[in-house]
A and B are shown apart, each in its own frame.
Chain A
Amino acid sequence: MSEAVVPPRALWVPFPLGRPLGAVDDSEFQKNVMRTAFRLLETAVEPTIEDYEIQAPGEGFNENWSCPLNLTPESSGSLTERLLAEVALLRPWAIETRRQRGRTLFGASGAQEDQVDEMARAFASIAETSDVTSELVVDDVAWAFEMPLLLRHIADDLRTFYHEAVAAQPGDNAPDHDALNRWIFDETVLGEALLLVADGLTKASDSPMAQLVRGLLIPEGHYRGGSAFPQQTNFPINPET
C-alpha cells in the first residue's frame, strides 16, 4: 500500500497490525524504530521505502497462553444469564487492571465503565433475538453509534473488558490479539454471543451495512461461515461525521 501512496520517506516494519512501534513497555526498542525512520530525513533524496529487519522482542510469546480462570459455562440458564455470570467472574480482575494502569480503553461505544452489565445484557438479548437493526434503548446509556454499527463497538468494549480482566492475572504476559480471540471464541460465553450476533447480521440480508458490520465484528478466522467480511463491499464514505 505504501508503494501506491508513494510517501516521501517510509520505514516498513515487520510488526503485527496494532503494534507499529513493535514492543510494549520497551522505550529503547520504540525509540530505535523512530530513530531509523527519522534518519531517512537525512539520507533519502527521493521517495524511499526502507525495511526495518529487527524483530520485536517477545514476538510469538502468546502461542501457548491460556486463561487461568475456569470459565466453563453452566449448561443451564439463558445466554444472558450465562454471559452476566461470566462478566461477574471477570469484573474484579478488570478493576484490578484499571487500578494498575490508571486507565481503561473501555467506553468507545458510549457506555460508562460501570455499565458493563447493561451492555452485556443488551448484547446477549440481540444474540438471542437476532434483531440487529432496531434501535437499542438501554436506560442511562448514551450510545455513540447507531445500529447495527453499534454492535461492533459494543463487542469491542466487551473484548476490552475481557482483555483487561485477564491482563491483571498472575502469569508472564497478557494475551495478544490472536491469543485473546482464540480464548474468547473457543472458551467463553462472549464468543458464543458474538457468533450468534454474526448469524443475526447474516440473516439481515437486505441490509448491506449489517453484512459489513459482520466483517467488523468478527476477526478473520473465527466466523463459522467462512470469511466474516462480505465478498462484495461498497465501502461507504462519510466526509463529515
Chain B
Amino acid sequence: MVRLSDLHPVEAEHLAARALAMPATGPGEWVTPRPLDQATVAIVSTAGLHRRIDLPFTVGSLDYRIIPGDTQFDDLVLSHISANFDRSAFGQDPNIVFPIDRLREFASSGEIGGVARWHYSFMGAMPDPSQFEKAGEEIGRLMAEDGVDVAFLVPI
C-alpha cells in the first residue's frame, strides 16, 4: 500500500513507527486452494465499509460487518476513522475498494469458479493486528461454511 515517500511526512513517520512497533503475527498454516477457475472467492475489506442499516465502526472496532453479495453500491457507506485516505475514489467507483463487479466478471468469464454469497468488512488502523484473531477465525469458519476457497483481502 502506497509509498511512504508519497505521504505527508508526518503521516509517513507515523505509519513507519507503527510498522516497526507492530508485533509479528504470522505465518499461519500454509493452505493451497483448489485451482482458481474452480475456486469461490470472497472479499475481505478493511475500509470500514458497511450497509447504511448496520452499526457503524468506531475507534478501535474489532468486530466486522457482513456485506451480502447482492448489496447495491448505493447502500454502502464508509465509517473508517482515518482522515488520511482518499474517499473520493470510492465515491466515484466503489469497485476500486470493493471489487464485487470485477469478481462477477471473472466468474462470468470462467477465470474464477464463483463469487461468495457473503463478504466481510473490518475497520483497519489497528496497531496490533493480533487483536483481530477471534473475529478472523470466526469469519474463516463462516467462509468455509459458505464454500469459499479464496479470501481476497483488500486493505484501504
Interface residue ranges, A against B (CB under 8 Å): 1, 3-8, 12-25, 27, 30-31, 34-35, 37-38, 41-42, 46-47, 101-105, 107-108, 144-145, 149, 152-153, 155-156, 159-160, 163-164, 167, 174-177, 180, 209, 212, 215-221, 226-229, 235-241
Contact = CB atoms under 8 A, between A and B. Distances in A.
Interface of A, helix, strand, loop or mixed by DSSP: loop
Nearest to B31: A8
Interface in B17-57: 18-19, 22-28, 30-33, 35-36, 39, 52, 55-57
A236 B128 CA distance: 11
A202 to B, nearest CB: 15
Interface string B95-108: 11101011001100
A149 B95 contact: no
A5 B131 CA distance: 12
Contacts of B97: 18-21
Closest A-B pairs by Cβ, 9 of them:
A6-B26, A18-B86, A103-B74, A177-B86, A17-B85, A18-B85, A24-B93, A4-B22, A220-B8
B129 A5 contact: yes
A149 B59 contact: yes
Contacts of A17: 1-2, 7, 82, 84-86, 156
B26 A21 contact: no
A37 B17 CA distance: 27
A46 B59 contact: no
A174 B92 contact: yes
A103 B88 contact: no
Contacts of A236: 59-60
Contact of A1 (B18, B87, B89, B112): B18
Contacts of A34: 99, 102, 106, 152
What is the size category of the interface that chain B forms with chain A? 35 or more
Nearest to B28: A8
A34 to B, nearest CB: 6
A159 to B, nearest CB: 8
B30 A8 contact: yes
B120 to A, nearest CB: 15
20 contacts: A6-B28, A7-B153, A17-B7, A20-B97, A21-B99, A25-B93, A30-B99, A37-B152, A41-B150, A102-B74, A105-B78, A144-B55, A149-B59, A155-B83, A159-B87, A164-B91, A219-B84, A220-B84, A221-B11, A241-B58
A219 B85 CA distance: 9
A12 B78 CA distance: 23
Contact of A237 (B3, B6, B131): B131
Contact of A241 (B15, B57, B90, B154): B57
B110 interface: no
A159 B72 CA distance: 23
B87 A4 contact: no
A212 B83 CA distance: 12
Given A176-B88, A220-B84, A238-B62, A30 B14 contact: no
